[in-house]
Amino acid sequence: MPVFARGLRRRSIPALVAVLCALGLPWPAGASPAPRAVVAAGAVPGLPQQGLPQRDWAQRDLAQRDLPARGPTAGQGPRAGFVLPVPPPAVVLTPFRPPAVKWGAGHRGVDLAAAAARPIVAAADGVVAFAGTVVDRGVVSVSHSPALRTTYEPVTPKVRAGQRVRAGEVIGLLVAGHPSCAPRDCLHWGARIGADSYIDPMALITGLRIRLKPWDGEPG
């Protein structure tokens, strides 16, 4: 490799790391994992020790984009009313796997089965922190409080940064081809507290019907 190409690569890697860390996104497959701490939801002040009630996802659709939005108040913890970002039942293809050590490999989120082009909804009220492309995939990130943020990928964003959204409001359409779920399609849903502490997003919701792979049915 020419010297100038090696130099460009060295300069581009820190920039990529900075972008992924700022958005709370998983490190690309095949690369060294970005350093992240992972904690249980119950260990974080302000988070409920148990999940929150499930809402009727079927009542939410694209028409809800016209409803007035309610964002979180500064200083509050997560708001009540967390919902699945995909229609229930939740089919978990890859569960949350916290690394044994801070620098270790793990799965910092869950992969939920869903059909390509399916509407993806916000898990709770909040403000869109990011909506765009990171590396080669569409990503939406929503801040629900000063500390809690959730991410959704790969999606075609249907919202913009700074927009207030409600729990169950459509924020994007699922894009096929997430590599960790092949040959199936899935949504990678992540949640983190602060800058570097990932939690299991499924811990935010109770009363779910959950299926773990293998599962022969089609997602709803």
Instruction: Yes or no: say if 129 and 165 are a contact pair by the CB < 8 Å rule.
Output: no
Per-residue pLDDT of the chain (220 residues; tens, 9 = 90+): 554 444 444 445 445 444 455 555 554 444 444 333 333 333 334 444 333 333 443 333 333 333 222 333 333 333 357 999 999 888 999 999 987 777 778 888 999 999 999 999 999 999 999 999 998 999 999 999 889 999 999 999 999 999 999 999 999 999 998 888 888 999 999 999 987 788 999 988 865 555 555 544 444 4
- Measured CA to CA in angstroms, residue 203 lies from 6, 19, 22 at distances of 43, 26, 23
What pLDDT shows up at residue 31?
A: 44
The Cα–Cα gap between 103 and 161 comes to 30
Report the DSSP beta bridge partners of residue 86: none
What pLDDT shows up at residue 122?
A: 98
- Measured CA to CA in angstroms, residue 122 lies from 101, 118, 213 at distances of 30, 13, 24
Question: Residue by residue, what is the 3-state secondary structure of the chain?
Answer: CCHHHHHHHHHHHHHHHHHHHHHCCCCCCCCCCCCCEECCHHHCCCCCCCCECCCCHHHCCHHHHHCCCCCCCCCCCCCCCCCCCCCCCEEEEECCECCCCCCCCCECCEEEECCCCCEEECCCCEEEEEEEEECCEEEEEEECCCCEEEEEECEEECCCCCCEECCCCEEEEECCCCHHHCCCCEEEEEEEECCCEEECHHHHECCCCEEECCCCCCCC
What pLDDT shows up at residue 1?
A: 53
Can you list the domains of the chain with their CATH numbers?
3-212 (2.70.70.10)
What pLDDT shows up at residue 188?
A: 96
What pLDDT shows up at residue 51?
A: 38
What is the pTM for the complete model shown? 0.63
